[in-house]
Structure formats: C-alpha cells, structure tokens
Structure 1
C-alpha cells in the first residue's frame, strides 16, 4: 500500500466499534483512543458518531527497572495498566498512531528542546514507512510501543489476526530500534483476553491512559492544553496523537503545556518495568 493511501486511510469508526467491544466476551469497555482517523464513513456505510470517552481508572504500574534491563515474560493481565506509582509529581505523555512525517518530527523537536521523554505507540504500517523516525525515537530515549499494524478493533478479530497485527509491528520496531517493544496499547481502548495473552507472549505489558485529550476531534489547541493541564496529577498518563489526521493542534498544544507542566514541578518520563 502506498504511503499517501495509508495516511488517508482508516475507516473503522466509533459507534460500531463501541458496540462490538461492549458485546465481545472478555472485552473491557475502555477509553476510545481515537478514532484518530478521518471521521467520514466508508463508502456505502451508514453515518456513525464518534466514540464517547469513558473514565475508568485502572491498576497502577508496580515499578520500574533500570533502562535496558531484560523484562522477562510479563504476567497475563485481565485489564490494562494505567497509573504510575512512585515519588513526586511524575506523569507520562503518550502519542498514538504514528509516526507521521509531518507531525512526529515537530513533537520530537519539542520534547528534545525541554529534555523530556515520551512514549509513542506506533502502528506498524506507519512505522514501516518511517523507520528513521522510529530509530530517532529510540536514540533520543523515548519508549516505542506497539499499537498494532493497521489499527483494527481487536475484539472483532480472531486470535490469529490479533497475533499477526502485534507480531508484525513488533518486528518493525525491533529492526528499527534494536529491541522489540515492551508495551502495547489496544486501538480504541478495546481489550480482550486474547489481546492480553498475546501481548504477554510477545513480552509486552498493556498500558492504557488516564487523561484523554480527544485531540483526534481537533477541538482546538486551547482545549487540548486545558485538558492536559486540568488533568495533570501525579501518576497520570496522557493520551495524544501524532498521526491519523491533521495533528497540527496537537503539535502546538505540546509546545504550550509542556513548559508549564515543567514549571509546575512535574517530571515527565517513560514507563519502566521491574524484573518479572
């Protein structure tokens, strides 16, 4: 598939996604991570409304290992990890759906300017065309996570398809970074038992979020900034996007809220796992 087709692609949307997730055995009604995709329905499909954000709060991360420490095989969880534990005012910034050649470099430049690390949950089909950006993320100390290959609704897929989506993405990340991802995030926040088991088999922990900027709806730079600053608190995980549509608002918002969070004493870092 050509690169310009990928950047305009993604027709899996909301109401149907939410219904499928709610009706799937073992699925958790998680926060939607987008669609972070164009909102027009596919040709011939009925109109669909965006997914509504829910406000679940899940179990905390249990600890951090030294950077580069061998992670071992993580446990098979029944819900994704969310909040961080630890001392002080520590937060995570996470970006989904990239990397995108127009927006991801600007985000990386801003993070580098303030010497801040973030977590990028990448889609394999985007990563495959932008391996230089994946390598840059790793070189600059960011965490590269697995967000599946094509951003499907995992709760509607067979176990074989879920494994393929995750494995292909992990392979691309491994080749670009020198190590496979240790964290994964389900598209749309739709998790099920197969996703948890396969993620664990591939050596990854599931990470959700606490604060959803809803930047995929392009609500305006000021609104994105307000959502991050209003939700800021120790242990919070912030969800934003660096691809899947016009992310210029997300880029501008980061430039505004990042120095303010630092001035407020927040330490913006990446997740680290303890030895299992």
Structure 2
C-alpha cells in the first residue's frame, strides 16, 4: 500500500522531525541543571584535552621552529598542498588524521554544500519521474488519461436529427418508414400486421408500456414478424419532457421492462415522445438508454376526428394527406390503437406506397440533407405476395385533402 505523503516524511528520512531524538543516555539540559546544587569547578589548563586529537602542544612547534626551520616550513607546505588536493566531492576517502581539525571542518562544509546541491537537483528529477511506493518500487508519473463515455452511456454517438430536440425527422436514407403508435391494440394491431405481411413491408411499432403489459402476445407477434420496436412511455405521458431526468429514465426503463417481459431479448431501437414533445433533455436520456428519438415528417392526423366528419371522410382525408406529403426518406406517423379508420385507409395506402417507394425502417444514425429532386423519383417496386389477392380500397381518395393543423 502506498504511504501517504505525511507517512513517507515520518518514515525515517534524513532531517525528519521524528528522527531527531535526544539519546537516552544523555540527560537533557534542564535535567542536568536541576540535578543538584551548583558546584565550583577548578579551571583546567589551556593545553590539555581541549587540543584536537593527534596534534602537538604549541610549545613543541615553537621549539622545532627554532631548531629545524626547514623541516617546519616543509611540513606546512605539505599540509597546504594536502588541503587543496583533497577532492571535496568525496571527503569520505581522505584520512582525517592527515588534516588539521580546521581543514576537516572546511572540507566537510564544502562537501555538504555540494551534496545539498546535487541532492536537490536529483530530487526534483526523481519527483518528476517517479513516486516512491512500498517495497522500494516506483510509481510512474500519472499521464493524462483519455476517457471514453461515462459508464452507462452507449458507445454510439447521439444521432443528429432535424426534429425537435434533435430527434430524427427522416429515415436517413431513401426508404419511407411507416410507424404505428399507442398499441398494441387487440382489435386493430392484428389487422395492420396482416396487411404488412401481405405486402412484405417492415414497419415500426411505438408501444405504450401499459398496453404491452396487457397484451404480451401481440408484442410477440410484432417481434416474430420482424418489425422494429419503439418505446412510447408507459402511459402515453404527453408531459414526460417536463419531468426530472430521474423520472424520465424510470418511465423509459419501466416501459422497456414491460416490452421485454413479453420478449426478453427484444431490441428496442427507438423512443418517441407522445405528441412529439421532444426536448434536448428527453432525447439525451433516451440516448443513454440506447434508443434514438423518432419524430416524423408526414402526419395525416389520423387520430383527429373533426366535427361533422364521417368515417368515410376521415379515411379519405388520411389517404390524401399521406399521398401528398410522402417523399423518399419520410417518416409517416399513424396509429393502430383504437383507429379503425386508419386501418381502412391503409388498405389503399399500402399497395400504393409499395408500388412507388422503398419501404423500411429508419437507420437511427442521423439524417443526410435532402437534395431537391428535379424529376419524379424512381422508387423500388416490390410486388405483393402472389398467394394473397390485393385488398381493394373501400373508398376513393379525394383530390384535395382537408387542412390539417
């Protein structure tokens, strides 16, 4: 375990406050002064134990100078040469007995100064390169770490759409996507599934969690037919975007759980806000749950029944609105929950769409700008199954659609 900085400083480094201790055998100054009454001490001679070890009395040097001046002079010269010749960076290799006490003190002071200088430089380099850890090992200096997305976030980037909150307005390709909201419905969903199968068209079903919980068998039918799933909140909450992030996430997870209770390994690729009420926050939360947010480009308002509008008129309006607005790459909004007129309208719309457009699901990876077409597009022309007769439309579409808000 790596000791903390303060622990390392107390571990015995030279100069540490914890390593400076008074020897047990030496009483402290105050103890010595308080041990007993003061006693008079006789003065010691100047020449005695106060001389440096290995030196001669001054009188002896003076006598030798008078009798052998050449010898004394030579000795002093040799001593001076030794003082200047000793390498100060390695004082430990010299013999202390060959120098006077003053020379040793000067050499030690210079060597200590050199050691402090070298040690400070080396210490700065060492601190920049490694950090000591337990056991004598070294820890490399931490480098800038490049991190990816925070834990829990999907690895794919957020799809950039042109819808509200950057939701997807188009499919990102040439395919037209049919989407059906608010189901599954025990009466209408099986009917639209049968028509889609007849024309071999794959659509996207935006499921409400409470409905999926009530009709798990329909969820299994949708998945078994190869259609794409979309989360549409648990109770079709039109104000979901105004809730807190935690509340939004809880609702989306609850809806996904209801869908996966019917199909445990179901892939839920998309999220659609009820009413299309997307915000940046809502789109971001859906993205963290692994879902792209799906808006639309064509809205026939099939859910709206205007005053004095008959069922036949409603069907004609839906058909005319889709035919007028659809183009390559469009996402078409429709409803299979409690909308029998919508199902009736698709009896005419499906064969027309399959003949004139490529039908599929959104890519979920963003949108490419449209290029204005100068000529009529040449859509793919998938043919319906040869074993099933095409369904004739119940009514003919009107030439001019009613105004839609």
Q: Provide the rounded CA distance (Å) in 2 between the counterparts of 1:161 and 1:180.
A: 22
Does 2:175 align with 1:129? no
Match in the other structure for 2:299: 212
Structure 1 stretches of 5 or more lacking a match?
1-70
Cα distance, 1:136 vs structure 2: 0.9
Cα distance, 1:200 vs structure 2: 1.0
- Of the three residues 244, 247, 257, the one matched with 1:161 is 247
Q: Provide the rounded CA distance (Å) in 2 between the counterparts of 1:94 and 1:137.
A: 13
The normalised TM-score by structure 2 is 0.47
Cα distance, 1:116 vs structure 2: 0.6
Q: 1:74–1:205: 8 Å Cα contact kept in structure 2?
A: no
Q: Provide the rounded CA distance (Å) in 2 between the counterparts of 1:262 and 1:148.
A: 30
Q: Provide the rounded CA distance (Å) in 2 between the counterparts of 1:272 and 1:222.
A: 30
Q: 1:174–1:181: 8 Å Cα contact kept in structure 2?
A: no
Cα deviation per residue 1:39-61 (whole Å; 9 max; x = unaligned)?
A: xxxxxxxxxxxxxxxxxxxxxxx
Match in the other structure for 2:190: 105
Q: Provide the rounded CA distance (Å) in 2 between the counterparts of 1:107 and 1:72.
A: 35
Does 2:158 align with 1:75? yes
SS of corresponding position for 1:155: helix
Does 2:180 align with 1:95? yes
Residue correspondence of structure 1 range 165-180 to structure 2 within 5 A:
165-177=251-263, 178-180=265-267
Cα distance, 1:73 vs structure 2: 4.0
Q: Taking CA–CA contacts closer than 8 Å with sequence separation of 6 or more, which of the two structures ends up with the larger relative contact order?
A: 1
SS of corresponding position for 1:212: coil
Q: 1:97–1:241: 8 Å Cα contact kept in structure 2?
A: yes
Q: Provide the rounded CA distance (Å) in 1 between the counterparts of 2:266 and 2:340.
A: 30
Residue correspondence of structure 1 range 1-276 to structure 2 within 5 A:
72-75=155-158, 78-87=165-174, 90-152=175-237, 153-177=239-263, 178-218=265-305, 220-243=314-337, 246-264=338-356, 266-273=357-364
Aligned residue pairs, count:
199
Q: 1:94–1:119: 8 Å Cα contact kept in structure 2?
A: yes
Q: 1:81–1:207: 8 Å Cα contact kept in structure 2?
A: yes
SS of corresponding position for 1:214: coil
Cα distance, 1:84 vs structure 2: 2.2
Larger Rg: 2
- Structure that is richer in helix per residue: 2
Cα deviation per residue 1:212-256 (whole Å; 9 max; x = unaligned)?
A: 01011136111111111111210010001111xx31100101111
Structure 2 stretches of 5 or more lacking a match?
1-153, 307-313, 366-405
Q: Provide the rounded CA distance (Å) in 1 between the counterparts of 2:353 and 2:180.
A: 17
The normalised TM-score by structure 1 is 0.68
Q: Provide the rounded CA distance (Å) in 2 between the counterparts of 1:205 and 1:217.
A: 27
Cα distance, 1:179 vs structure 2: 2.5
Cα distance, 1:76 vs structure 2: 7.1
Q: Provide the rounded CA distance (Å) in 1 between the counterparts of 2:290 and 2:261.
A: 16
